[in-house]
Amino acid sequence: MTLQRNLLIALGLAALVVAPAFIYPMLIVKLLCFAIFASAFNLMLGYTGLLSFGHAMFFGSAGYALGVTTKFLHWPPELGILAGIAVAALIGFVAGAVAIRRQGIYFAMITLAISQLIYFVAMQMEWTGRDDGFHGIPRGRLFGLIDLENDLALYGLVAVCFVLALLAIHRIVTSPFGLALTAIRENEPRAVSLGYDVERYKVLALTLSAALAGLAGSLKALALSYESLNDLHWALSGEVVMMCILGGLGTLGGPVAGAFFVILLQNFLADKVGEWLSVIIGVVFLSCILAFRKGLVGEIAAWMERSRKPIPGQESRR
Amino acid sequence: MTHILETVDLCKEFSGFRAVDTVSLKVREGEIHALIGPNGAGKTTVFNLLTKFLPASSGRILFGGQDITGMKPAPLARRGLVRSFQISATFPHLTVLENVRVALQRRLAPTFAFWLPGRVLTRLDGRAMDLLEQVDMQDFAAVKAADLPYGRKRSVEIATTLAMEPRVMLLDEPTQGMGHEDVERVTRLIKRVAAGRTILMVEHNMKVVAGICDRISVLQRGAILAEGSYAEVSADPRVLSAYMGSETQLEGAHG
Protein backbone atom coordinates (compact mmCIF):
# COMPACT_ATOMS: atom_id res chain seq x y z
CA MET A 1 0.00 0.00 0.00
CA THR A 2 2.65 2.47 1.03
CA LEU A 3 4.84 1.27 -1.84
CA GLN A 4 1.99 1.77 -4.26
CA ARG A 5 1.29 5.16 -2.81
CA ASN A 6 4.90 6.30 -2.95
CA LEU A 7 5.08 5.12 -6.55
CA LEU A 8 1.95 7.10 -7.35
CA ILE A 9 3.36 10.21 -5.68
CA ALA A 10 6.66 9.87 -7.58
CA LEU A 11 4.77 9.47 -10.85
CA GLY A 12 2.64 12.50 -10.09
CA LEU A 13 5.65 14.68 -9.30
CA ALA A 14 7.44 13.49 -12.44
CA ALA A 15 4.34 14.29 -14.48
CA LEU A 16 4.26 17.80 -12.99
CA VAL A 17 7.88 18.34 -14.07
CA VAL A 18 7.65 17.07 -17.63
CA ALA A 19 4.06 18.07 -18.43
CA PRO A 20 4.81 21.61 -19.69
CA ALA A 21 7.04 20.11 -22.38
CA PHE A 22 4.02 18.42 -23.92
CA ILE A 23 1.02 20.49 -22.93
CA TYR A 24 0.44 24.23 -23.14
CA PRO A 25 1.59 25.38 -19.65
CA MET A 26 -1.27 27.82 -19.15
CA LEU A 27 -3.77 24.98 -19.56
CA ILE A 28 -2.01 23.02 -16.82
CA VAL A 29 -1.94 26.12 -14.66
CA LYS A 30 -5.69 26.39 -15.00
CA LEU A 31 -6.09 22.68 -14.23
CA LEU A 32 -3.92 22.95 -11.12
CA CYS A 33 -5.76 26.04 -9.86
CA PHE A 34 -9.09 24.25 -10.08
CA ALA A 35 -7.54 21.12 -8.58
CA ILE A 36 -6.48 23.17 -5.53
CA PHE A 37 -9.94 24.72 -5.39
CA ALA A 38 -11.70 21.35 -5.52
CA SER A 39 -9.32 19.91 -2.92
CA ALA A 40 -10.06 22.84 -0.62
CA PHE A 41 -13.77 22.25 -1.08
CA ASN A 42 -13.28 18.57 -0.30
CA LEU A 43 -11.99 19.59 3.12
CA MET A 44 -15.55 20.74 3.85
CA LEU A 45 -17.80 18.25 2.09
CA GLY A 46 -15.50 15.23 2.25
CA TYR A 47 -13.86 15.62 5.63
CA THR A 48 -16.22 17.85 7.62
CA GLY A 49 -19.41 16.60 6.05
CA LEU A 50 -20.84 20.06 5.42
CA LEU A 51 -22.04 21.08 1.96
CA SER A 52 -21.09 24.67 1.29
CA PHE A 53 -22.82 26.03 -1.75
CA GLY A 54 -20.92 29.27 -1.86
CA HIS A 55 -17.29 28.31 -2.24
CA ALA A 56 -16.89 30.57 -5.27
CA MET A 57 -16.97 33.55 -2.85
CA PHE A 58 -13.59 32.50 -1.48
CA PHE A 59 -12.14 31.76 -4.90
CA GLY A 60 -13.33 35.01 -6.47
CA SER A 61 -12.73 37.33 -3.52
CA ALA A 62 -9.14 36.15 -3.33
CA GLY A 63 -8.71 36.94 -7.02
CA TYR A 64 -9.97 40.50 -6.50
CA ALA A 65 -7.81 40.88 -3.37
CA LEU A 66 -4.75 39.85 -5.35
CA GLY A 67 -5.76 42.21 -8.14
CA VAL A 68 -6.21 45.21 -5.86
CA THR A 69 -3.00 44.67 -3.90
CA THR A 70 -0.77 44.02 -6.89
CA LYS A 71 -2.27 46.51 -9.36
CA PHE A 72 -3.15 49.47 -7.12
CA LEU A 73 -0.83 48.96 -4.15
CA HIS A 74 2.02 47.53 -6.25
CA TRP A 75 2.58 44.63 -3.88
CA PRO A 76 4.81 41.83 -5.14
CA PRO A 77 2.96 38.69 -6.29
CA GLU A 78 3.83 36.61 -3.21
CA LEU A 79 2.22 39.22 -0.93
CA GLY A 80 -0.72 39.53 -3.31
CA ILE A 81 -1.29 35.78 -3.01
CA LEU A 82 -1.08 36.01 0.76
CA ALA A 83 -3.58 38.88 0.70
CA GLY A 84 -5.93 36.70 -1.36
CA ILE A 85 -5.57 33.86 1.13
CA ALA A 86 -6.13 36.18 4.09
CA VAL A 87 -9.25 37.79 2.61
CA ALA A 88 -10.72 34.38 1.72
CA ALA A 89 -9.93 33.03 5.18
CA LEU A 90 -11.56 36.06 6.80
CA ILE A 91 -14.70 35.65 4.71
CA GLY A 92 -14.66 31.94 5.54
CA PHE A 93 -14.44 32.68 9.24
CA VAL A 94 -17.30 35.19 9.14
CA ALA A 95 -19.48 32.97 6.93
CA GLY A 96 -18.73 30.10 9.28
CA ALA A 97 -19.68 32.06 12.36
CA VAL A 98 -22.99 32.95 10.73
CA ALA A 99 -23.87 29.63 9.12
CA ILE A 100 -22.30 26.89 11.20
CA ARG A 101 -25.21 26.27 13.52
CA ARG A 102 -27.23 25.12 10.57
CA GLN A 103 -26.82 21.78 8.91
CA GLY A 104 -27.55 20.12 5.60
CA ILE A 105 -29.63 22.16 3.21
CA TYR A 106 -29.76 25.15 5.58
CA PHE A 107 -26.00 25.43 5.74
CA ALA A 108 -25.86 25.17 1.95
CA MET A 109 -28.50 27.89 1.56
CA ILE A 110 -26.85 30.32 3.98
CA THR A 111 -23.47 29.94 2.29
CA LEU A 112 -25.18 30.43 -1.07
CA ALA A 113 -26.88 33.59 0.24
CA ILE A 114 -23.62 35.05 1.53
CA SER A 115 -21.84 34.29 -1.74
CA GLN A 116 -24.66 35.91 -3.73
CA LEU A 117 -24.35 38.95 -1.49
CA ILE A 118 -20.66 39.23 -2.28
CA TYR A 119 -21.36 38.67 -5.98
CA PHE A 120 -23.80 41.56 -6.14
CA VAL A 121 -21.55 43.86 -4.14
CA ALA A 122 -18.75 43.10 -6.61
CA MET A 123 -21.11 43.80 -9.48
CA GLN A 124 -22.01 47.25 -8.05
CA MET A 125 -18.47 48.37 -7.38
CA GLU A 126 -16.72 50.56 -9.91
CA TRP A 127 -13.24 49.22 -9.22
CA THR A 128 -14.07 45.56 -9.98
CA GLY A 129 -14.74 46.49 -13.59
CA ARG A 130 -18.16 44.88 -13.12
CA ASP A 131 -19.17 42.75 -16.12
CA ASP A 132 -16.01 43.70 -18.01
CA GLY A 133 -13.84 42.13 -15.35
CA PHE A 134 -10.83 43.38 -13.45
CA HIS A 135 -8.06 43.80 -16.02
CA GLY A 136 -4.36 44.53 -15.92
CA ILE A 137 -3.23 42.49 -12.92
CA PRO A 138 0.58 42.49 -13.15
CA ARG A 139 2.30 39.15 -12.69
CA GLY A 140 5.36 40.91 -11.34
CA ARG A 141 8.54 39.36 -10.03
CA LEU A 142 8.36 36.62 -7.42
CA PHE A 143 10.48 37.63 -4.38
CA GLY A 144 11.82 40.36 -6.66
CA LEU A 145 13.84 37.73 -8.52
CA ILE A 146 11.80 35.51 -10.79
CA ASP A 147 9.96 37.16 -13.64
CA LEU A 148 6.51 35.61 -13.73
CA GLU A 149 5.78 37.04 -17.18
CA ASN A 150 7.54 33.89 -18.29
CA ASP A 151 4.84 31.23 -18.52
CA LEU A 152 7.16 28.48 -17.40
CA ALA A 153 8.19 30.40 -14.27
CA LEU A 154 4.54 30.98 -13.48
CA TYR A 155 3.86 27.32 -14.08
CA GLY A 156 6.62 26.46 -11.60
CA LEU A 157 5.06 28.69 -8.95
CA VAL A 158 1.61 27.18 -9.43
CA ALA A 159 2.97 23.62 -9.45
CA VAL A 160 4.85 24.23 -6.18
CA CYS A 161 1.73 25.79 -4.62
CA PHE A 162 -0.30 22.81 -5.80
CA VAL A 163 2.05 20.33 -4.13
CA LEU A 164 2.15 22.42 -0.94
CA ALA A 165 -1.65 22.67 -0.89
CA LEU A 166 -2.05 18.90 -1.16
CA LEU A 167 0.56 18.38 1.57
CA ALA A 168 -1.26 20.89 3.75
CA ILE A 169 -4.58 19.12 3.24
CA HIS A 170 -3.02 15.76 3.98
CA ARG A 171 -1.53 17.17 7.17
CA ILE A 172 -4.79 18.82 8.21
CA VAL A 173 -6.87 15.67 7.83
CA THR A 174 -4.36 13.49 9.67
CA SER A 175 -3.58 16.05 12.39
CA PRO A 176 -5.11 15.99 15.88
CA PHE A 177 -7.59 18.54 14.54
CA GLY A 178 -8.39 16.31 11.57
CA LEU A 179 -9.09 13.38 13.88
CA ALA A 180 -11.37 15.50 16.05
CA LEU A 181 -13.13 16.56 12.84
CA THR A 182 -13.52 12.92 11.81
CA ALA A 183 -15.10 12.09 15.15
CA ILE A 184 -17.53 15.00 14.76
CA ARG A 185 -18.45 13.94 11.24
CA GLU A 186 -18.96 10.31 12.26
CA ASN A 187 -21.14 10.98 15.29
CA GLU A 188 -21.77 14.58 16.20
CA PRO A 189 -23.98 14.05 19.30
CA ARG A 190 -21.40 11.69 20.72
CA ALA A 191 -18.62 14.22 20.12
CA VAL A 192 -20.72 16.83 21.94
CA SER A 193 -21.24 14.43 24.83
CA LEU A 194 -17.46 14.04 25.03
CA GLY A 195 -17.13 17.77 25.52
CA TYR A 196 -16.27 18.92 22.01
CA ASP A 197 -17.60 22.36 21.04
CA VAL A 198 -18.33 21.07 17.56
CA GLU A 199 -19.16 24.45 16.06
CA ARG A 200 -15.70 25.82 16.70
CA TYR A 201 -14.12 22.89 14.88
CA LYS A 202 -16.41 23.41 11.92
CA VAL A 203 -15.62 27.13 11.77
CA LEU A 204 -11.92 26.35 11.74
CA ALA A 205 -12.45 23.75 9.00
CA LEU A 206 -14.35 26.27 6.90
CA THR A 207 -11.68 28.91 7.50
CA LEU A 208 -8.92 26.55 6.38
CA SER A 209 -10.94 25.42 3.39
CA ALA A 210 -11.61 29.05 2.46
CA ALA A 211 -7.92 29.93 2.80
CA LEU A 212 -6.93 27.14 0.39
CA ALA A 213 -9.71 28.12 -2.02
CA GLY A 214 -8.26 31.63 -1.75
CA LEU A 215 -4.85 30.32 -2.75
CA ALA A 216 -6.44 28.77 -5.84
CA GLY A 217 -8.32 31.97 -6.71
CA SER A 218 -5.26 34.21 -6.27
CA LEU A 219 -3.12 31.96 -8.45
CA LYS A 220 -5.72 31.87 -11.19
CA ALA A 221 -6.12 35.66 -11.20
CA LEU A 222 -2.34 36.09 -11.24
CA ALA A 223 -1.94 33.62 -14.09
CA LEU A 224 -4.62 35.16 -16.27
CA SER A 225 -3.79 38.79 -15.22
CA TYR A 226 -7.52 39.13 -14.99
CA GLU A 227 -10.34 38.50 -12.56
CA SER A 228 -13.91 37.97 -13.66
CA LEU A 229 -17.27 38.08 -11.92
CA ASN A 230 -17.73 34.47 -13.04
CA ASP A 231 -15.28 33.44 -10.33
CA LEU A 232 -17.79 34.67 -7.73
CA HIS A 233 -20.82 33.20 -9.46
CA TRP A 234 -22.89 30.45 -7.86
CA ALA A 235 -22.44 28.34 -10.99
CA LEU A 236 -18.79 27.93 -10.02
CA SER A 237 -19.85 26.92 -6.50
CA GLY A 238 -21.92 24.21 -8.13
CA GLU A 239 -19.13 23.17 -10.46
CA VAL A 240 -16.74 22.55 -7.59
CA VAL A 241 -19.31 20.31 -5.89
CA MET A 242 -19.47 18.35 -9.12
CA MET A 243 -15.70 18.09 -9.45
CA CYS A 244 -15.43 16.71 -5.94
CA ILE A 245 -18.18 14.16 -6.29
CA LEU A 246 -17.03 13.05 -9.75
CA GLY A 247 -13.51 12.51 -8.48
CA GLY A 248 -14.36 11.03 -5.12
CA LEU A 249 -15.16 12.68 -1.82
CA GLY A 250 -12.89 12.26 1.15
CA THR A 251 -9.91 11.15 -0.91
CA LEU A 252 -6.83 13.24 -1.55
CA GLY A 253 -6.64 12.48 -5.28
CA GLY A 254 -10.36 12.54 -6.00
CA PRO A 255 -10.95 16.28 -6.26
CA VAL A 256 -7.78 16.64 -8.36
CA ALA A 257 -8.98 14.02 -10.82
CA GLY A 258 -12.47 15.51 -10.79
CA ALA A 259 -11.21 19.02 -11.50
CA PHE A 260 -8.95 17.79 -14.32
CA PHE A 261 -11.83 15.83 -15.82
CA VAL A 262 -14.35 18.67 -15.76
CA ILE A 263 -11.97 21.39 -16.98
CA LEU A 264 -10.54 19.20 -19.76
CA LEU A 265 -14.01 18.22 -20.87
CA GLN A 266 -14.99 21.90 -20.97
CA ASN A 267 -11.83 22.81 -22.87
CA PHE A 268 -12.11 20.14 -25.51
CA LEU A 269 -15.84 20.41 -26.05
CA ALA A 270 -16.40 24.14 -25.69
CA ASP A 271 -15.89 25.05 -29.38
CA LYS A 272 -17.40 21.81 -30.68
CA VAL A 273 -20.76 21.49 -28.98
CA GLY A 274 -21.48 25.00 -27.73
CA GLU A 275 -24.51 25.18 -25.48
CA TRP A 276 -24.70 21.39 -25.29
CA LEU A 277 -21.69 21.40 -22.99
CA SER A 278 -23.80 21.83 -19.86
CA VAL A 279 -26.06 19.00 -20.96
CA ILE A 280 -23.11 16.66 -21.55
CA ILE A 281 -21.54 17.49 -18.19
CA GLY A 282 -24.92 17.06 -16.56
CA VAL A 283 -25.32 13.60 -18.07
CA VAL A 284 -21.80 12.62 -16.98
CA PHE A 285 -22.53 13.85 -13.46
CA LEU A 286 -25.82 12.02 -13.35
CA SER A 287 -24.34 8.72 -14.50
CA CYS A 288 -21.54 9.14 -11.95
CA ILE A 289 -24.04 9.62 -9.12
CA LEU A 290 -26.06 6.63 -10.28
CA ALA A 291 -23.25 4.23 -11.16
CA PHE A 292 -20.08 5.27 -9.32
CA ARG A 293 -21.17 6.66 -6.01
CA LYS A 294 -17.61 6.89 -4.70
CA GLY A 295 -16.34 8.85 -7.71
CA LEU A 296 -13.45 8.03 -10.03
CA VAL A 297 -10.70 7.75 -7.43
CA GLY A 298 -13.01 6.37 -4.76
CA GLU A 299 -14.12 3.50 -7.00
CA ILE A 300 -10.56 2.66 -8.02
CA ALA A 301 -9.41 2.68 -4.39
CA ALA A 302 -12.34 0.50 -3.34
CA TRP A 303 -11.59 -1.90 -6.20
CA MET A 304 -7.92 -2.14 -5.19
CA GLU A 305 -8.92 -2.70 -1.58
CA ARG A 306 -11.22 -5.55 -2.59
CA SER A 307 -8.73 -7.26 -4.89
CA ARG A 308 -5.91 -6.93 -2.37
CA LYS A 309 -7.38 -8.74 0.59
CA PRO A 310 -10.37 -11.01 0.63
CA ILE A 311 -11.21 -10.55 4.32
CA PRO A 312 -11.11 -13.97 5.96
CA GLY A 313 -14.15 -15.05 7.93
CA GLN A 314 -16.09 -11.82 7.77
CA GLU A 315 -17.28 -9.45 5.15
CA SER A 316 -16.83 -5.77 5.56
CA ARG A 317 -20.01 -4.06 6.70
CA ARG A 318 -19.69 -0.82 4.84
CA MET B 1 -26.08 11.94 51.97
CA THR B 2 -25.56 14.59 49.32
CA HIS B 3 -27.38 14.81 46.05
CA ILE B 4 -24.99 15.19 43.16
CA LEU B 5 -27.69 15.61 40.56
CA GLU B 6 -31.03 17.15 41.28
CA THR B 7 -33.94 18.53 39.30
CA VAL B 8 -36.48 20.95 40.69
CA ASP B 9 -39.91 20.94 39.05
CA LEU B 10 -38.43 20.16 35.66
CA CYS B 11 -40.85 20.53 32.75
CA LYS B 12 -40.61 20.06 29.01
CA GLU B 13 -43.39 20.88 26.60
CA PHE B 14 -43.46 20.05 22.92
CA SER B 15 -46.07 22.33 21.32
CA GLY B 16 -48.57 21.90 24.10
CA PHE B 17 -47.75 18.29 24.93
CA ARG B 18 -46.10 17.96 28.30
CA ALA B 19 -43.45 15.25 27.89
CA VAL B 20 -41.88 15.92 31.28
CA ASP B 21 -44.13 17.20 34.02
CA THR B 22 -42.70 18.78 37.19
CA VAL B 23 -40.11 16.11 37.74
CA SER B 24 -38.07 16.50 40.91
CA LEU B 25 -35.41 13.87 40.76
CA LYS B 26 -32.66 13.47 43.33
CA VAL B 27 -29.64 11.33 42.56
CA ARG B 28 -27.38 10.52 45.49
CA GLU B 29 -23.66 10.60 45.09
CA GLY B 30 -22.09 7.17 44.62
CA GLU B 31 -25.29 5.31 43.85
CA ILE B 32 -26.59 3.51 40.81
CA HIS B 33 -29.94 5.10 40.17
CA ALA B 34 -32.40 3.68 37.65
CA LEU B 35 -35.05 5.57 35.76
CA ILE B 36 -37.73 3.17 34.62
CA GLY B 37 -41.16 3.45 33.13
CA PRO B 38 -43.29 2.34 30.21
CA ASN B 39 -42.45 3.38 26.65
CA GLY B 40 -43.13 7.04 26.06
CA ALA B 41 -42.94 7.90 29.76
CA GLY B 42 -40.32 10.58 29.04
CA LYS B 43 -37.17 8.84 30.25
CA THR B 44 -35.01 9.77 27.31
CA THR B 45 -36.41 13.29 27.33
CA VAL B 46 -35.30 13.62 30.96
CA PHE B 47 -31.84 12.47 29.87
CA ASN B 48 -31.77 15.02 27.09
CA LEU B 49 -32.81 17.74 29.53
CA LEU B 50 -30.23 16.73 32.13
CA THR B 51 -27.40 16.77 29.60
CA LYS B 52 -28.70 19.96 27.95
CA PHE B 53 -29.29 18.33 24.58
CA LEU B 54 -32.77 19.81 25.00
CA PRO B 55 -33.61 23.08 26.75
CA ALA B 56 -36.05 22.79 29.62
CA SER B 57 -39.38 24.64 29.42
CA SER B 58 -39.24 25.39 33.13
CA GLY B 59 -37.64 24.13 36.30
CA ARG B 60 -34.05 23.90 37.39
CA ILE B 61 -31.23 21.38 37.23
CA LEU B 62 -28.50 21.26 39.85
CA PHE B 63 -25.26 19.36 39.39
CA GLY B 64 -22.95 19.18 42.37
CA GLY B 65 -24.97 21.96 43.96
CA GLN B 66 -24.53 24.32 41.02
CA ASP B 67 -27.31 25.46 38.74
CA ILE B 68 -26.63 24.09 35.27
CA THR B 69 -30.01 24.88 33.74
CA GLY B 70 -28.57 27.36 31.25
CA MET B 71 -25.41 25.52 30.26
CA LYS B 72 -24.57 24.06 26.86
CA PRO B 73 -24.02 20.33 26.46
CA ALA B 74 -20.29 20.30 25.65
CA PRO B 75 -19.11 22.43 28.63
CA LEU B 76 -21.39 20.41 30.90
CA ALA B 77 -19.78 17.18 29.68
CA ARG B 78 -16.39 18.71 30.46
CA ARG B 79 -17.56 19.29 34.02
CA GLY B 80 -18.15 15.58 34.44
CA LEU B 81 -21.78 14.87 33.55
CA VAL B 82 -21.36 12.48 30.64
CA ARG B 83 -24.05 10.56 28.82
CA SER B 84 -24.37 7.62 26.50
CA PHE B 85 -27.06 7.21 23.90
CA GLN B 86 -29.90 4.81 23.32
CA ILE B 87 -28.52 3.90 19.95
CA SER B 88 -24.94 2.79 20.29
CA ALA B 89 -22.70 5.84 20.14
CA THR B 90 -19.36 4.91 18.68
CA PHE B 91 -17.37 6.48 15.88
CA PRO B 92 -17.98 3.64 13.40
CA HIS B 93 -15.01 4.06 11.08
CA LEU B 94 -12.45 4.64 13.80
CA THR B 95 -10.78 1.74 15.54
CA VAL B 96 -11.70 0.81 19.10
CA LEU B 97 -8.50 2.40 20.34
CA GLU B 98 -9.14 5.59 18.39
CA ASN B 99 -12.66 5.77 19.75
CA VAL B 100 -11.36 5.94 23.30
CA ARG B 101 -8.58 8.27 22.26
CA VAL B 102 -11.06 10.84 20.93
CA ALA B 103 -12.28 11.32 24.50
CA LEU B 104 -8.77 11.40 25.96
CA GLN B 105 -7.61 13.81 23.28
CA ARG B 106 -10.15 16.42 24.25
CA ARG B 107 -8.79 16.52 27.79
CA LEU B 108 -5.11 15.76 27.37
CA ALA B 109 -3.90 16.61 23.88
CA PRO B 110 -4.32 19.31 21.26
CA THR B 111 -7.56 19.23 19.29
CA PHE B 112 -7.27 22.38 17.19
CA ALA B 113 -3.66 21.82 16.09
CA PHE B 114 -4.15 21.27 12.36
CA TRP B 115 -0.43 21.69 11.72
CA LEU B 116 0.76 18.82 13.95
CA PRO B 117 1.10 15.26 12.71
CA GLY B 118 -1.47 12.80 14.01
CA ARG B 119 1.21 10.68 15.65
CA VAL B 120 1.44 13.15 18.59
CA LEU B 121 -1.69 11.38 19.79
CA THR B 122 0.07 8.03 20.16
CA ARG B 123 1.23 9.11 23.59
CA LEU B 124 -2.38 8.61 24.66
CA ASP B 125 -2.37 4.99 23.50
CA GLY B 126 -1.18 3.58 26.82
CA ARG B 127 -3.97 5.26 28.70
CA ALA B 128 -6.50 4.21 26.10
CA MET B 129 -5.35 0.59 26.44
CA ASP B 130 -5.77 0.80 30.23
CA LEU B 131 -9.35 1.92 29.74
CA LEU B 132 -9.98 -0.85 27.22
CA GLU B 133 -8.67 -3.37 29.72
CA GLN B 134 -11.17 -2.10 32.26
CA VAL B 135 -13.95 -3.15 29.91
CA ASP B 136 -12.20 -6.31 28.61
CA MET B 137 -11.75 -4.89 25.15
CA GLN B 138 -7.96 -4.83 24.90
CA ASP B 139 -7.97 -7.60 22.28
CA PHE B 140 -10.19 -5.55 20.00
CA ALA B 141 -8.09 -2.37 20.01
CA ALA B 142 -7.33 -2.44 16.28
CA VAL B 143 -10.83 -3.41 15.12
CA LYS B 144 -13.07 -0.82 13.52
CA ALA B 145 -16.00 -0.05 15.79
CA ALA B 146 -18.46 -0.72 12.96
CA ASP B 147 -17.21 -4.32 12.71
CA LEU B 148 -17.91 -5.14 16.37
CA PRO B 149 -20.94 -7.06 17.56
CA TYR B 150 -23.52 -4.92 19.28
CA GLY B 151 -22.66 -5.83 22.86
CA ARG B 152 -19.00 -5.01 22.30
CA LYS B 153 -19.91 -1.60 20.91
CA ARG B 154 -21.53 -0.87 24.24
CA SER B 155 -18.28 -1.74 25.97
CA VAL B 156 -16.38 0.65 23.71
CA GLU B 157 -18.91 3.31 24.55
CA ILE B 158 -18.44 2.78 28.26
CA ALA B 159 -14.65 2.89 27.94
CA THR B 160 -14.97 6.12 25.96
CA THR B 161 -17.24 7.59 28.62
CA LEU B 162 -14.82 6.51 31.35
CA ALA B 163 -12.05 8.36 29.54
CA MET B 164 -13.88 11.56 30.44
CA GLU B 165 -13.40 10.69 34.12
CA PRO B 166 -17.04 11.54 34.69
CA ARG B 167 -18.50 12.22 38.12
CA VAL B 168 -21.88 11.13 36.85
CA MET B 169 -22.50 8.73 33.99
CA LEU B 170 -25.90 8.74 32.33
CA LEU B 171 -26.53 5.49 30.50
CA ASP B 172 -29.52 5.32 28.18
CA GLU B 173 -30.69 1.70 28.00
CA PRO B 174 -27.25 0.13 28.15
CA THR B 175 -28.51 -3.44 27.69
CA GLN B 176 -31.19 -2.75 25.12
CA GLY B 177 -31.30 -5.21 22.23
CA MET B 178 -28.69 -7.52 23.72
CA GLY B 179 -28.55 -11.26 24.05
CA HIS B 180 -28.50 -12.92 27.43
CA GLU B 181 -24.73 -13.22 27.77
CA ASP B 182 -24.08 -9.66 26.70
CA VAL B 183 -26.63 -8.38 29.19
CA GLU B 184 -24.83 -10.13 32.02
CA ARG B 185 -21.42 -8.98 30.84
CA VAL B 186 -22.49 -5.34 30.50
CA THR B 187 -24.31 -5.46 33.85
CA ARG B 188 -21.17 -6.67 35.60
CA LEU B 189 -19.23 -4.00 33.78
CA ILE B 190 -21.55 -1.23 34.93
CA LYS B 191 -21.33 -2.50 38.50
CA ARG B 192 -17.55 -2.46 38.24
CA VAL B 193 -17.18 1.03 36.76
CA ALA B 194 -19.71 2.42 39.24
CA ALA B 195 -17.06 2.26 41.93
CA GLY B 196 -16.29 5.81 42.96
CA ARG B 197 -18.88 7.44 40.73
CA THR B 198 -22.58 7.96 40.30
CA ILE B 199 -24.63 6.34 37.59
CA LEU B 200 -28.09 7.24 36.40
CA MET B 201 -29.46 4.77 33.91
CA VAL B 202 -32.59 4.27 31.89
CA GLU B 203 -33.24 0.55 31.83
CA HIS B 204 -36.06 -1.72 30.78
CA ASN B 205 -34.57 -4.97 31.93
CA MET B 206 -35.83 -5.47 35.50
CA LYS B 207 -33.27 -8.15 36.22
CA VAL B 208 -30.54 -5.61 35.64
CA VAL B 209 -32.35 -3.00 37.70
CA ALA B 210 -33.01 -5.41 40.55
CA GLY B 211 -29.45 -6.68 40.42
CA ILE B 212 -27.37 -3.52 40.55
CA CYS B 213 -29.48 -0.43 41.19
CA ASP B 214 -29.59 1.16 44.62
CA ARG B 215 -32.53 3.37 43.92
CA ILE B 216 -35.28 3.48 41.34
CA SER B 217 -37.52 6.23 40.07
CA VAL B 218 -40.57 5.23 38.08
CA LEU B 219 -41.71 7.65 35.44
CA GLN B 220 -45.17 7.62 33.93
CA ARG B 221 -46.57 10.11 31.43
CA GLY B 222 -43.78 12.50 32.22
CA ALA B 223 -44.24 12.48 35.99
CA ILE B 224 -42.61 10.54 38.78
CA LEU B 225 -44.95 7.84 39.96
CA ALA B 226 -42.85 6.20 42.65
CA GLU B 227 -39.38 6.21 44.06
CA GLY B 228 -37.40 3.92 46.31
CA SER B 229 -35.45 0.69 46.45
CA TYR B 230 -36.36 -2.20 44.16
CA ALA B 231 -38.28 -3.92 46.93
CA GLU B 232 -40.31 -0.80 47.65
CA VAL B 233 -41.01 0.08 44.07
CA SER B 234 -41.86 -3.43 42.93
CA ALA B 235 -44.38 -3.78 45.75
CA ASP B 236 -46.13 -0.56 44.80
CA PRO B 237 -49.49 -1.42 43.19
CA ARG B 238 -49.50 1.85 41.20
CA VAL B 239 -46.24 0.86 39.55
CA LEU B 240 -47.53 -2.58 38.69
CA SER B 241 -50.66 -1.27 37.10
CA ALA B 242 -48.77 1.40 35.21
CA TYR B 243 -46.55 -1.22 33.69
CA MET B 244 -48.92 -4.02 32.92
CA GLY B 245 -52.36 -2.61 33.43
CA SER B 246 -52.70 -5.34 36.04
CA GLU B 247 -50.91 -6.51 39.12
CA THR B 248 -48.44 -8.98 37.67
CA GLN B 249 -44.77 -9.56 38.29
CA LEU B 250 -42.72 -6.47 37.50
CA GLU B 251 -39.93 -8.66 36.23
CA GLY B 252 -41.99 -9.56 33.20
CA ALA B 253 -41.95 -5.99 32.01
CA HIS B 254 -39.00 -6.11 29.66
CA GLY B 255 -38.97 -3.29 27.17
Using a CB–CB cut-off of 8 Å, the residues of A that contact B are 171-172, 174-180, 182-183, 186-187, 189-198, 200-201, 204, 208, 314, 316-318
Provide the pLDDT confidence category of residue B248 given band limits of 50, 70 and 90. very low
Q: Is B14 exposed, middle or buried (0-12, 13-18, 19+ CB in 10 A)?
A: exposed
> How much of chain A exceeds pLDDT 70, in percent?
96
> Please, which residues 114-153 of chain B have a Cβ atom closer than 8 Å to chain A?
114-118, 120-121, 146-147
Contact A57, A114 (CB under 8 A): yes
Residues in B touching A318 (Cβ below 8 Å): 146
pLDDT single digits (tens) B105-125: 998 888 999 999 988 999 999
Residues in chain A: 318
Q: Give the residue from A174, A181, A184, A194 with the most B CB atoms within 10 Å of its CB, the best one to mutate.
A: A194
Count the helix, strand and coil residues of chain B and give each as a percent rounded to the nearest 5.
40, 25, 35
pLDDT single digits (tens) A9-45: 888 898 888 888 888 889 999 999 999 999 999 999 9
Give the least confident one: A99-108, A200-209, A237-246: A99-108
Which residue among B98, B112, B147 places its CB closest to the CB of A177?
B112
First to last CA, chain A: 20
B56 touches chain A (CB under 8 A): no
pTM: 0.86
State the pLDDT at residue A218.
Answer: 96
ipTM: 0.84
Residues in A touching B77 (Cβ below 8 Å): 192-195
Can you give the residue ranges of every domain in chain A? 25-233
Our CA-based measurement puts residue A174 at a distance from the nearest CA of chain B, in whole angstroms, of 5
Task: Report CB contact under 8 Å: B146, A193.
Answer: no
Which residue among A177, A189, A190 places its CB closest to the CB of B111?
A177
Contact B166, B154 (CB under 8 A): no
pLDDT single digits (tens) A164-186: 999 999 999 999 999 999 999 99
Task: Report CB contact under 8 Å: B91, A189.
Answer: no
Round to whole Å and give the CA distance between B166 and B147.
Answer: 27
Residues in B touching A182 (Cβ below 8 Å): 91, 93-94
Compute the count of residue pairs across chains A and B with CB atoms less than 8 Å apart: 109
CB atoms within 10 A of CB A264: 13
Nearest chain B residue to A204 by CA distance is B112
Task: Report CB contact under 8 Å: B117, A171.
Answer: yes
Segment A97-113 shows an average pLDDT of 88
Torsional sign, CA B119, B123, B127, B130:
positive
B73 touches chain A (CB under 8 A): yes
Give the least confident one: A202-216, A283-297, B193-207: A283-297
State the pLDDT at residue B253.
Answer: 46
